[in-house]
Structure 1
Amino acid sequence: MKKETFYKIIIGLLIVLNLFQLSAFFFGQKPPHIKKIDFKEKATNEMALNTKQQKVFFEFVLKHKQKMEILQEQQVQTIANYFRQPTDSLLTQISKIEVEKVKATEQHFLEVKSILSPKQHSKFEGFKKNAIEHILKKTNPQKKP
């Protein structure tokens, strides 16, 4: 077999292979669309909150979110100042802000627990566990492979 004929066959096979891969990509099954559920909605369902409790819960969430945004902004500014001119007092201030964030979150959990009925208290620990996982995923996102 001549080299020219051999190369023509190889090129033809590669073209067929490429066409097969492209057709599989364009005409193959699409992955199912996963609906992203809002965490607040998931939490209200998980704790089985009634309408009145949901309203108070959403107020607590908004208040907590605003508090965390203020603390986050303070922390960002303090960290920026630290890298401009490092001092131990700025490190201490950064740590204090982080402690405030943790305490504010614990206070938020206590507020949420306060609106629950005795029957709902058993569902609170599951909510708290899921909320902590949600918070940690937001602050330390894992890269997908």
Structure 2
Amino acid sequence: MHGYISHPLRQQLVEIALQWERSYSVLPRVGDALSEFDAAMLVGHTPETFSKAMVGTTAVQKGFDFCWESTRYQVKHNRPSGKKGSKVTNAGNVTTNFEWDILIYVLYNEFFDIQEVWQWDVETYQKMFDSKSQKHISLKDMQKGKPLS
């Protein structure tokens, strides 16, 4: 993917998580960490700047996942397991937290290779996905955002 900076630690995390899944049939919950790292790299962070920016944050930080150049990013992701019937059609729940500027959605394949990345500004997202009338977002609807590549 154009502009993407990978990192050996990311690859190690993926390899260990996939090994765990092969051994115990359930993937450890590493998707949030991977998607936040990947999104940060795609918007311009380097592994070093991202590491420094994340000092003092927690996994339950309210409102957004990371900042880059004064923009607050919220990240969502999906990954099919590769098992029968695991195709991604649902892009998750409609978020009701709007303490971010840009939402990034990352779609992975079963090996955590990025397949698609879409971004939404908060105003467009709120107009498109009215949480009062819609609980879930289809992948087709998420793909109406701006491609990030």
Structure having the higher Rg: 1
More helix per residue: 1 or 2?
A: 1
TM-score by length of 1: 0.28
Which has the higher relative contact order, 1 or 2, with Cα contacts under 8 A spaced 6 or more apart? 1
